[in-house]
Structure 1
Amino acid sequence: MEITRRDALKMASSVAIVGGPSAAVAHDAAAKAVPQVADLAFDLGIPTPDTVEKLYDMMDFQRAVQGYLWAVPTVGMEGARRMLVDNAEARSGDLVLVAGYRDVSVMLGSNVTTPYVFAWFDLTEGPIVIDYPEGATAGSLIDWWDRPLIDVGVSGPDGGKGAKFVMVGPAHEAPENSPVGAKLLRSRTNKVLMFCRGLDGDLKKVEAVFSKTKIYALGTTGSGVTALLRFKTEGELTSMAHPKGLAYWQSLTQALDGEQIEDRDRFFAAMLKPLGITYDGSFSPNHRQAEILDNAANLGEAMAKASAFSKRIPGMRYRDDAHWEYLIPQDFANEQDGPDGALLDQRTAFFYEVTGTSAAVLTKTPGTGSAYLTAYSDPDGDAFDGAKSYRVRVPANVPAKTFWSITLYDTETRGLIQNKQQIVDRSSRQNLKVEADGSIEIAMGPQPPEGLEQNWIPTTPGRAWFVYFRLFGPLEPYFDRSWHLPDIEKAN
């Protein structure tokens, strides 16, 4: 059964389950979005000055709320850049290795099974050459609206054999002096993110592969060893999660700075301009604008949570006999457009939870790429409570060519759950207790069940969580849905 539509007030109220103290603020903001014509005064049909002020406030607030949802992908990309700059002092073209519980915890929807390598690029000054290495890696180069330019590594056209790319921004012509054999990538944005995984279990081998990467401005010579920056080891790390309140709009302004307005975005650009959101990098809202933007961000976030955790997108249920859903809508396209218009709801739901996509995650070819199932509540519709215990029995012969994993995320941060054990997942790569029939029972709760300690994922009372079940190299029984993954059930 598909999720039914909920109105704005109900969405704002439901944020109390997952959003904590912001619930009341979001509810108050929602009330402003519902004008009562009976409360408006007119003079012979003409709005009075007081009514004009109210109407413009309502108009700007409603536009800002929709602007929040429109901006979710690019604010997520700016969050990735901010994470790299704040935590590793990364400049354009620097590679950053992100590995281990502490580092990966600040990412959205990621896992600790494989390390990540990031880089961000500014194409304003001209084309950039990437000499991508041969080896066991997988990832993509994506523009600032989270649209892939190309997959790289074993899941890309190079098949893990390495490749050379020349990236060109929207304002530059195709260069005549590209290196021999280089593939030209034209980005529609001046900022680009490289988002990759190292697939080898040995971190030293992953470092050795990526250290062979060469990144340099076209016309110069790339030489020497590429350093892999790491996050600072002291102090609090900056998360890539979407900022709250007014900071959301500051991040959006930074994301749009120096970019060109695409045709698909012109209405949103026009609606946000009266609120001080422009493409020129400046952001200094007056008191009225700041109040509207802050309230709109609170309600926009509540709507994004509803879009992600209670999707009304058709076809999200994996099978009718369990409550697992696809993480990525089945009609999603990386261009974010469909035959009936832009995939606005789909991309809001997807990119509120994660940052970074690729062709590989949309695979329909058995044995390649990766697939993701998710659950946000138990079969009774209740949020997964960190104070309670749950179990799921993973059947034998999971249709995953490479491996499978189950990972828990904090509902508020969309990052890894936090616990003193620093255990957030269980996978087929680990030494788990296996039942006589080949199935594996995974336990989730604040205390380890006797006999299942090695299969246990610790949860924290007072925090809600949701779960991703990943299949790396999904096989045909996943695609034809003949494979059944039982629900996560409350444990006695």
Structure 2
Amino acid sequence: MSDLEELAAEAFVYGFPMVFNLDEVSRFTREGMGSLPAAPFNRFSHATDLAGPKDTFVSVNNDTVYSIAQIDLSGGPLVLSVPDTAGRYYVFQFVDAWTNNFAYVGRRATGTAAGTYLLTGPGWSGDVPAGATRIPVPTTVASLVGRWACEGRDDLAAVRDLQRATGLEPLDPGTPPPAGLPEPHHEVSGTELRFFEKLRTWMRAFPPSATDQDYQRRFAPLGLLDDGDPYAAPSPDLERALTAGYREGKERVEHATTHGSSPEQNGWRLTYDAFNYNLDFFETGTLDSAQWVIQDRATARTVRAASARAGLWGNHAYEAAYAMTWNDGDGDPLDGARSYTLRFGTTPPVDAFWSITMYDLPDYYLVDNAIDRYSIGDRTPGLHYDHDGSLTLHLQPERPTDPAAAANWLPTPPGRFRPVLRMYQPRPAVFDGSYVLSPITRK
């Protein structure tokens, strides 16, 4: 590759998380997603059910009911109010435009009593209302991703009551309408050039930390710092470099999702560091310590891209730890044409709950199945435990004939698939190596 092409590939990896993220932000405000209706900026979209195949979002969870708001602080601060959940697990995760998880409100972070939080944009100064906790937001636009633990359909009414009791209002009733996402130039055509035009536009609108802004200056030869419109009629050399860099950068991101530096255990990728790329913004509920911060910025940028691709809006592991695998215990790719078991001698150690969720490839979506079951875990009704307390799950396309196995059946989609183990409020044994995951074994 030429130097300019290599620079474009580097820019793709750097900018992919923000572009991918803000495309989703835009989709949520315009179209919604499956169980989540569209909602304008600064208004919650409350799901009325657990996520299913119609919720076409990368690695969406099937454990909790979502309440999601895309927030825009261009007009002024917002006030978030949360109800008393009486011990029920919930979390509101704050994600900036660059996909940094910079704050948490919920059972682990702030408890389950009612609370009030003032969300303020960059550069804001003013008085915080009595009784409110201020949460500075690094970028004017951000995502507020709420998850309510739900025990199943019979529990949905209680979750809906909590959703109705959750508020998001301007601090000043006279706040002007939010500005929203700036539109990239419409004259720019083609997937590759459109990507770089979005990156150029949104880099200017949502500047990251000062250190990252210094890093961005290296991309000036690509036109990413230009005030004008460098991609409507680029020079042939620039267009070739951007096209080649886009394709190479995309391959690097895809490769990083399956060949990153996460440790492996019996075929499982322990992606406990997957969301530790935030190096600059630590507000309510975050942990600013060496265990939870990737120290090398180059590594953090690659991890951030891979995490956005395979698990956008995922939590830090101290909130919810994720392990995932593309292969069985022998290293062979998981395939829906085969049948597997997963035996837990001891189920995952958590203070909330755990689950295994099934996703297809390459999209990481839930796939329709005959029993409408997309995850299985400690809250699944009717699980069959062996006499020694162990639990054997059956991952296969067809219902097992044995009743005990059928109770523990997680249907697999056609073709390649990737299950994810989620552990909400994991205990220290998850991280210190004293708890070991079992391999998925082919029958």
What TM bracket, shorter-length normalisation?
Answer: 0.7 to 0.9
Is the aligned partner of 1:256 residue 2:203? yes
> Which string of whole-angstrom CA distances, capped at 9 and with x for unpartnered residues, describes residues 238-273 of structure 1?
xxxxx9755544554564352235433335534545
Structure 2 counterpart of 1:468 = 420
In 2, the alpha carbon distance for the partners of 1:212 and 1:251 equals 36
In 2, the alpha carbon distance for the partners of 1:448 and 1:221 equals 58
Structure 1 counterpart of 2:183 = none
Specify every segment of 5 or more residues in structure 1 that has no aligned partner in the other structure, as ranges: 1-32, 34-57, 223-242, 364-368
Is the aligned partner of 1:393 residue 2:335? no
Structure 2 counterpart of 1:139 = 92
Is the aligned partner of 1:219 residue 2:172? yes
In 2, the alpha carbon distance for the partners of 1:331 and 1:164 equals 26
Q: Aligned match of 1:362 in 317, 327, 340?
A: 317
Look up the equivalent residue of 2:14 and give its one-letter code.
W
Q: Aligned match of 1:184 in 112, 124, 134?
A: 134
In 2, the alpha carbon distance for the partners of 1:421 and 1:139 equals 30
Residues 128 and 280 (structure 1), Cα distance of their counterparts in 2 relative to 1, 3 Å cut: farther
In 2, the alpha carbon distance for the partners of 1:413 and 1:268 equals 31
Structure 2 counterpart of 1:437 = 388
> Which string of whole-angstrom CA distances, capped at 9 and with x for unpartnered residues, describes residues 133-166 of structure 1?
3323212222112223321121222x12132222
Query: Deviation at 1:90?
Result: 1.6
Partner of 1:83: helix, strand, or coil? helix
Q: Aligned match of 2:364 in 414, 419, 439?
A: 414
Larger radius of gyration: 1
Look up the equivalent residue of 1:488 and give its one-letter code.
I
- Equivalent pair of 1:165/1:184 in contact (CA under 8 Å): yes
User: Which residues in structure 2 correspond to 1:312-351 (within 5 Å)?
Assistant: 313=261, 316-317=263-264, 319=265, 322-329=266-273, 332=276, 334-335=278-279, 338-342=294-298, 343-351=300-308
- Equivalent pair of 1:118/1:193 in contact (CA under 8 Å): yes
Q: Aligned match of 2:24 in 70, 73, 80?
A: 80
Structure 2 counterpart of 1:150 = 103
The aligned length equals: 399
Is the aligned partner of 1:111 residue 2:61? yes
Query: Deviation at 1:78?
Result: 1.0
Q: Aligned match of 2:5 in 61, 73, 76?
A: 61
- Equivalent pair of 2:358/2:375 in contact (CA under 8 Å): yes
Partner of 1:91: helix, strand, or coil? coil
Is the aligned partner of 1:478 residue 2:430? yes
Look up the equivalent residue of 1:300 and give its one-letter code.
G
Look up the equivalent residue of 1:78 and give its one-letter code.
L
Look up the equivalent residue of 1:175 and give its one-letter code.
G
> Which string of whole-angstrom CA distances, capped at 9 and with x for unpartnered residues, describes residues 155-183 of structure 1?
222x121322222222x33113x321222
Question: What TM-score does the superposition give when structure 2 sets the normalisation length?
Answer: 0.80
In 2, the alpha carbon distance for the partners of 1:300 and 1:387 equals 32
User: Which residues in structure 2 correspond to 1:288-303 (within 5 Å)?
Assistant: 288=236, 289=238, 292-303=241-252
In 1, the alpha carbon distance for the partners of 2:360 and 2:191 equals 16
In 2, the alpha carbon distance for the partners of 1:73 and 1:183 equals 29
In 2, the alpha carbon distance for the partners of 1:392 and 1:279 equals 53
Residues 329 and 181 (structure 1), Cα distance of their counterparts in 2 relative to 1, 3 Å cut: same
Is the aligned partner of 1:207 residue 2:160? yes
Residues 264 and 482 (structure 1), Cα distance of their counterparts in 2 relative to 1, 3 Å cut: same
State the 4+ residue runs in structure 1 displaced beyond 6 angstroms. 279-283
Query: Deviation at 1:397?
Result: 4.3
> Which string of whole-angstrom CA distances, capped at 9 and with x for unpartnered residues, describes residues 422-443 of structure 1?
4322112112232232222222
Stretch of structure 1 that moved more, 268-277 or 208-217: 268-277
In 2, the alpha carbon distance for the partners of 1:392 and 1:355 equals 26
In 1, the alpha carbon distance for the partners of 2:302 and 2:200 equals 22
In 1, the alpha carbon distance for the partners of 2:325 and 2:98 equals 26
Residues 162 and 257 (structure 1), Cα distance of their counterparts in 2 relative to 1, 3 Å cut: farther
Structure 2 counterpart of 1:15 = none
> Which string of whole-angstrom CA distances, capped at 9 and with x for unpartnered residues, describes residues 208-251 of structure 1?
112222222222289xxxxxxxxxxxxxxxxxxxx975554455
Structure 1 counterpart of 2:186 = none
Stretch of structure 1 that moved more, 68-77 or 183-192: 68-77
RMSD of aligned residue pairs (Cα, Å): 3.0
Partner of 1:194: helix, strand, or coil? strand
Specify every segment of 5 or more residues in structure 2 that has no aligned partner in the other structure, as ranges: 176-189, 281-292
- Equivalent pair of 1:80/1:355 in contact (CA under 8 Å): no
In 2, the alpha carbon distance for the partners of 1:179 and 1:196 equals 23
Q: Aligned match of 1:425 in 349, 356, 375?
A: 375
Structure 2 counterpart of 1:457 = 410
